[in-house]
Amino acid sequence: MLSLVFGPDILHELDAALGREWLCTNGLGSSASGTLAGALTRRYHGLLTCATRPPVGRMHLVSKLSETVRLAGSTLELDTNIYPGHVHPAGYRYLTEARLQPMPAFFWRAGEFLLEKRVFMPHETQATVVLYRLAEGAGELELYVRPMMSCRDFHALTLQNDALDGEARELGEGHLCFEPYAGVPSVHVYHDGEFHPSLVWYKNLEYPAERERGLPYREDNWSPGYFRLRLTRGAPVALVLSAGPFGQWSPSAGEAAPAPRPDPIKLLEAETARRRQAAGPFTGAGGLLEALAAATDQFLVRRNGSLSVIAGYPWFEDWGRDTFISLPGLALTMERPEVACSALLEFSRYLKDGLLPNRFPDAGADPEYNTVDAPLWFIHAVGRFLEATDDLETVRQHLMPAMEQIVGSYVRGTGFGIAVDEDGLVDQGEEGQALTWMDARVDGWVVTPRRGKPVEIQALWHNALRTLESLNYELDRPERASKYGELADLVARSFLEKFWLEDRGWCADVADDPDHAGHADVSLRPNQLFAASLPHPLLDPERTKRMLDAVRSRLLTPCGLRTLASNDPRYVSKYEGSPRARDGAYHMGIAWPWLLGAYADALVHAHAGWTPEVLREVRHLLKGFEDHVAEAGLGSVSEIFEPEPPYRAVGCPQQAWSVAEMLRIAAECARHS
């Protein structure tokens, strides 16, 4: 696996250490995260963020632990915080090493002592374990640890207030309970030291990443007191931070029934063993392939006893579109077909008028169905599942009814103006809505409305029809298969008539576009790749080669595909400023790595296989990500990049479909080498 070990050259350069973010997850949507420097740069960074309705309803409970070491005649503060105009303390200067495998570990030099801190979340348990160990040094080291807490919705920020109940309740030896606010889960702390109550507020903590995003960026944290821990070599000590009693989590605040005391060492051994197998079939493969495979584990979460996919950390929920796009990489490439099956079955439960949820809001509102492509990506994922498993019976009995309902609803017409036109193509769109994956909206402004007939929707629609045609033939239903085939034939003919621009050598982005007076939007965008990348392509190899030449010239970057051609007057190359400015750039030039999966598939189609030429180009594209996985969301792939040098990673630092598509094509490269 690529090395995720960092020394003083990174750790003592504050900006470099702040820009590298670690993440632990528990398979329920909960997380622990932070930076190598120890300072929090986002409102979402925290030591215990709990999904109260897994995988959503997330509450930010414990922000971090502030550590101080007392040596003979001196005190060393190991923590790092950012305040207006200064950094205090500057404990990052004592860091000598940070390791991210199999879980985050940090080492501070304090005189003759070397102190190790290890952080992890036991799988499917609403808790974070922090384990301290004296790695070097004789005698005893006194460590003073203050928990800094927020206890809020994880999208919000906390300011000092009088509503706080900061008192600790003792529930047994080494077991404290805090019930800070009504409606917030109780926080239980199991510890190996002495607790000294002493309520203080840390005021005006600054989060630079929030300031850069044009959002409120100052917060106050409270601390109920400190723990005094005594360390000697060979005797680790721990704090276990739990939402509710350990192993008995309840969403209701005030739950304080005594629970068996957790054993941190056994939890560490179990999670270490689990994480060492996280790369599944690619364990020991080394390089980017193994790193990407290991990263898949972070995104798989429980929903109603089934499985789903968190679209990205730290702020995304589980989205339908992202889940279906990610499943071939996260589940099938990883030889976990049961994961794909579980997620597909779970989402099919929410089918409504032929539509599937776009997202499940964190706040607990009803699912949002405002997407035209998620149902079609669902059918694509089912096709990939069947290809990987040959499990025709599961598809026939449990998934095919949903697939046929989707297609039937599109033919008859359903919500948001989604309907099949006389030419067999899917029309869609309503004023104020953005139904494709280019869905940025801010203050009522739809940045890329794409009403009419978007190119990738037709590709997905044609692929869905061909998939059902093939399935029905396999099930000996020739009449039904023929109907799907006839409609697919019409789609294929209409597509070439309306989308292929012979004089330009690429496809229009939207046909029959009401925002272009009913004409085609001929902008050069990456969406056309899906007309050549899906299992049932609409473009022949020669047209695909011409299209790829245009894409390679104006859209391809070392970190993904631009969402708009670099010579387009609307092209935006910076992702910065206010939410409006950033949303205005989101799909107007910013580069997305997940699209490289479609680019690679189109290359394979154009060259009739994984030829040496295709392998060389795809390997070259993957090469740059070997550095990236050690630069932003550590061990993962970011959501988006600025599309001009130095190709700065922005947006979400850990994104499911980025990891999934990079893994899928990296595995294909390895298989065909």
Average pLDDT across the chain, whole number: 94
Does the residue 468 lie in any domain? no
End-of-domain residue from the set 245, 275, 305: 275
**What confidence score (pLDDT) does residue 249 get?**
59
Report how far apart, in Å, the C-alpha atoms of 351 and of each of 8, 201, 330, 367, 619 are.
52, 47, 23, 11, 39
For the ranges 40-44, 113-117, 408-412, 513-517, which has the lowest average pLDDT? 513-517
327 in Cβ contact with 343 (< 8 Å): yes
Q: Are 142 and 74 in contact (CB under 8 A)?
A: no
Give the per-residue pLDDT at 251. Answer: 44
Name the DSSP class of 366: P
Domain end among 228, 253, 275? 275
Q: Is 520 within a domain?
A: no
CATH number at residue 119: 2.70.98
> Across residues 255-264, what is the average pLDDT?
69
pLDDT exceeds 70 at position 300: yes
pLDDT at 435: 95
- Judged against a pLDDT cut of 60, whether residue 258 lies above it is answered with no
The answer to whether residue 555 sits within a structural domain is yes
Q: For the residues of 92-104, what is the DSSP string, one character each? A: GGGEEEEE-SSS-
pLDDT, tens digit (0-9, with 9 covering 90-100), for 515-528 = 887 789 999 999 99
Any domain includes 481: no
Residue 132's beta-bridge partner residues?
117, 237
Segment 400-410 mean pLDDT = 97
Q: What's the confidence (pLDDT) of residue 366?
A: 85
| Confidence at residue 1, expressed as pLDDT on a 0 to 100 scale | 63
Q: Which residues span the domain enclosing 547?
A: 540-673
- The CA-atom distances, in angstroms, between 468 and each of 160, 413, 473 are 58, 19, 9
The per-residue pLDDT for 481 is: 97
The 10s digit of each residue's pLDDT in 603-640 is 999 999 999 999 999 999 999 899 999 999 999 999 99
Question: What are the start-end ranges of the E strands in 10-140?
Answer: 21-25, 31-35, 46-53, 56-71, 74-77, 80-83, 86-90, 95-99, 105-110, 113-120, 127-136
Structure tokens at 478: 């020739």
143-156 pLDDT, tens digit per residue, is: 999 999 999 999 99
**Per-residue model confidence as pLDDT tens digits over 82-140:** 999 999 999 999 999 999 989 999 999 988 899 999 999 999 999 999 999 999 988 88
> Tens digits of per-residue pLDDT, 544-592?
999 999 999 999 999 999 999 999 999 999 999 988 999 999 999 999 9
Residue 402 lies in a domain: no
Query: Is the torsion defined by CA of 352, 355, 356, 359 positive or negative?
Result: negative
Question: Considering 275, 309, 326, which residue would you say is the last residue of a domain?
Answer: 275
- pLDDT of res. 253: 38
Longest Cα–Cα distance in the chain: 88
Mean pLDDT over 389-409 rounds to: 97
- The total domain count for the chain is 2
pTM: 0.95
Q: What is the pLDDT of residues 180-204, one digit of tens each?
A: 999 999 999 999 999 999 999 999 9
Q: Is residue 306 part of a domain?
A: no
For residue 391, being part of any structural domain is answered with: no
**Alpha carbons 439 and 422: distance in angstroms, whole number:** 26
478-509 tens-digit pLDDT: 999 999 999 999 999 999 999 999 999 999 99
Task: Look at residue 260 in the predicted model and tell me its pLDDT.
Answer: 76
**pLDDT the model gives residue 361:** 81
The verdict on residue 29 lying in a domain is yes
CA distance 541 to 605: 6
- Counts for the chain of helices (H) and strands (E), in that order: 19, 37
